[in-house]
Amino acid sequence: MSGVFLDIQGIDKRFGDLVVLRQINMQVKDGEFLGIVGRSGCGKSTLLRLVAGLETPSAGRLLIDHQQLTGINTAARIMFQDARLLPWKRVEENVDPGQFNTGEDVNQILESVGLLARKKDWPHILSGGQKQRVALARALVSNPKLLLLDEPLGALDALTRIEMQHLIVKLWQERSFTGLLVTHDVEEAVMLCDRVVVIDRGQISLEIGVNVPRPRLRGSTEIGKLCQVVLDHVLSSTAI
Ligand SMILES: Nc1ncnc2c1ncn2[C@@H]1O[C@H](COP(=O)(O)OP(=O)(O)OP(=O)(O)O)[C@@H](O)[C@H]1O
Ligand SMILES: [Mg+2]
């Protein structure tokens, strides 16, 4: 299993008169984990949707392993803040509705996210954190080369959030997919990612490498300094 090389070349995105993204140029290496932060409304989700092939660029192009993306990005899976589980399907059926599974054992992925014992349960009895684990298992069961995370942990309590962060890093290390994580939590971006970009008014205004070996220590001086740089930059960016 591996990831993809993502090459974003001069992307603009407009909705009518509204210019959401302007001249985005960015490369994400095969297997890299990139964090994307920025004020609400700056265009983070739009960028992820473009990479997923759910939106088309107004200008520029997007290459996946050197091939221009023209429709849905079949290499990618996306995970949102809400789990979006089907209430009428049990946990195991939510993970594998039978459409994409390329053979990975549903039991195996449920075991990886710590929910094997809950596979026959209905989604409504699960906690918020457990639902997100199911959503993560569903995103990963087809062994995607690219995982797009749009504030996946935004609605979770602090402790569950930290546990989920560890789980995401563990699965990324095991599977080597390319990851894009949109988050409002600067510390989360710095703890999880190889590199963090800040988007300000539709443009990349800061790019910073997190050259800290894993496992990373929350509260360490190195992590703290990087968080401060990113946070200061976000705070000085323009409110929309
Ligand atoms: N389909 C659409 N049609 C019109 N405008 C849109 C559409 N999708 C997004 N926008 C606008 O694009 C801008 C950026 O939206 P986007 O969802 O990418 O922001 P975001 O950075 O993800 O914000 P948040 O942090 O609140 O999730 C917003 O002004 C939004 O209203
Ligand atoms: Mg968003």
- Ligand 1 pocket test, pick from 46, 51, 56, 80 with the greatest ligand atom count within 8 Å of Cβ, gives 46
Q: Is 238 in the pocket of ligand 1 (CB under 6 A)?
A: no
Helix (H) or strand (E) holding 23: strand 18-28
Mean pLDDT on 86-108: 82
| Ligand 1 atom having least distance to the Cα of 202 | 14
- Alpha helix ranges (H) inside the chain: 44-52, 91-95, 106-112, 128-140, 158-175, 186-192, 221-236
* Confidence tier at 103 by pLDDT (50, 70, 90): low
| Pairing relationship of beta strands 33-37 and 195-200 according to DSSP bridges | parallel
> Cβ atoms within 10 A of the Cβ of 186, count?
22
- Reply yes or no on whether the pLDDT at 99 is more than 90: no
Query: Is ligand 1 within 6 A of the CB of residue 215?
Result: no
> What pLDDT is recorded for position 97?
74
Q: Is 56 in the pocket of ligand 1 (CB under 6 A)?
A: no
Residue 111 has pLDDT above 70, yes or no: yes
Lowest mean pLDDT among 20-29, 89-98, 103-112, 159-168: 103-112
pLDDT for 130-185, tens place per residue? 999 999 999 999 899 999 999 999 999 999 999 999 999 999 999 999 999 999 99
pLDDT in tens, 221-240: 999 999 999 999 999 987 66
pTM value is 0.96
For 63-130, give the DSSP string.
Answer: EETTEE--S--TTEEEE-SS----TTS-HHHHH--SSS--S--HHHHHHHTT-GGGTTS-GGGS-HHH
Average pLDDT score over residue span 94-110: 77
Task: Give me the pLDDT at residue 240, please.
Answer: 62
Task: Give the residue whose CA is nearest to atom 5 of ligand 1.
Answer: 15
- Residue 212 confidence (pLDDT) above 90: yes
Cβ–ligand 1 contact at 45 (below 6 Å): yes
Q: What is the pLDDT of residues 32-68, one digit of tens each?
A: 999 999 999 999 999 999 999 999 999 999 999 999 9
Residue 57 pairs with which residues in a beta bridge? none
Nearest to 76, CA basis, from 188, 159, 1, 179:
179
Among 183, 182, 232, smallest CA distance to 205 is for 232
Check pocket membership of 50 for ligand 1, CB cut-off 6 A: no
- Please tell me the number of Cα atoms within 13 Å of 156 on its side-chain side: 25
